[in-house]
Structure 1
Amino acid sequence: MERGDDGALLSWFELDERLRTGAPLILSVGSFEQHGPHLPLATDAIVVEALARAVAARTGGIVLPTLPYGAPSRPRSGGGPRFAAPALRLGTLLDSVEQLAAGAVAAGARALVVLSWHWENAAVLWDALDAALCGTAARALLFDAPWDYLAPADVEALFPGEEPAWASDHAGRLETAVMRHVAPELVGEPPAPVPFAPRDGYDVLPTPEDAVPATGVVLDARAVTAAVGERCFAAMVDGIVRGIAAEEAAPGPWS
């Protein structure tokens, strides 16, 4: 990524000049949580920042520092209190994103792109952006499920002969494949499946020990490759860039 695309390396005056041209600000929101024995705690932040940098390189956007903490993980996605780690409560996350978005608008941003990789973040990001942009002339684009842009062939490569199970794929096939592409030096050997008793469509509080696999990984990710991760990463970047281009072509602050 060029220096001019990295907001952390710009002076205030350089950022002000870029924003006056209508360059979008890109905020990525990650998390800090267990990702099995084979992936780092910062996996979500690593992946979403890589997406943000790739999108900025193609759109002329300015990447803000990644928000590395997110909402608490949930048992049905392989997390929960059994794997305690620093996280933000939903209200704190909402306030944080709202204040960052409001600050971006106050700095002169007319266009804000928010990317999230952590499944549990999605519930609060829309509300935070809605509150921050109310009464302003700015516009935001929220991409909280980049995997929606995967082509059928990509999904088939991850879930051969199966229906995709995105909520259960935490630290699983997509994340392992993409991490093997963007940060292979940080990826260990995924664990073999272990028995557990997931609840069908509901949670129990406090979380029973048998409701979450002891590895924290629900799906078997041992067969995925960096090549699949590269394909999926490219498809997600393409989809995000298409969305930004479509809004740039529409009347409003993007044009």
Structure 2
Amino acid sequence: MALLKVLLLLVGLGVSVNSGVSLQKRIIGGQNCQDTERLYHVRLESSNGTHSHRCGGSLIHPLWILTAARCWKLEPGWTNTAFLKVHPRTNIRYNLGIQDALVMYTHNDQQHDIMLLKLQTPASDVPLAQLPDCSYRLKTGDVVQLAGEGATTTGPNNRRLTGVALPAQLQCLDMRVVQVSRLFRLYGHVFYSDARNKDICIGDVGGAAVHNGKIYGVISFAHPYHGCQIPAAAMDVCEYLGWIKPITGIE
């Protein structure tokens, strides 16, 4: 109960991970993703020449990337880039331009933390992520796999580290659902997962939470300063399928 109160306090305060502050932005306590999985993972990078910001995303259609709304910098002076084929590292990484018209989910004038980015040209040789089969909804105790790029440790007192280089391989992490989807006013429809001494971090935001090979969640937020303090939050993709499919044309 105390843990849930801390989490709700962070949500109520509107804790944002979209800032110029350089924090540790990676999976903690994960392992190398297999070379045959997560081929759809996208790295999103934003920079203004002084500060940089990194997120994850998933290619769900040759023209469309699914990610978190906070993962695209709209302020003047910032440039945004999407890198595909970042995993495995034996692939030839390349980037494609993003169209200016971002598609963010809004309901009753409230923007939720989920977004679609449209590529200027389709990706022809990247496997696509699979959207969920929402005839099955996640339950407490279900295992979801999350992924991100970065270090696997924190500093003293689980303080998030800064200036850590990308790892040699994408990192994967299994967590168990500890709270099923519910609507939070400042974020949208969110579920939570947790694992002892493991965590997602700020720059993992936008990446996929996968169950049975399908994207059931989009990573949204974690504790902003210390790892392994609160469960990881993910947007519930099943709540947004009626928005995603008409826009992308996915059947």
Relative to the length of structure 1, the TM-score reads 0.26
Higher share in strand: 2
If you compute each CA radius of gyration, which structure gives the higher value, 1 or 2? 1
Identify the structure with the greater helix proportion.
1
Scaled by the length of structure 2, the TM-score of the pair is: 0.27
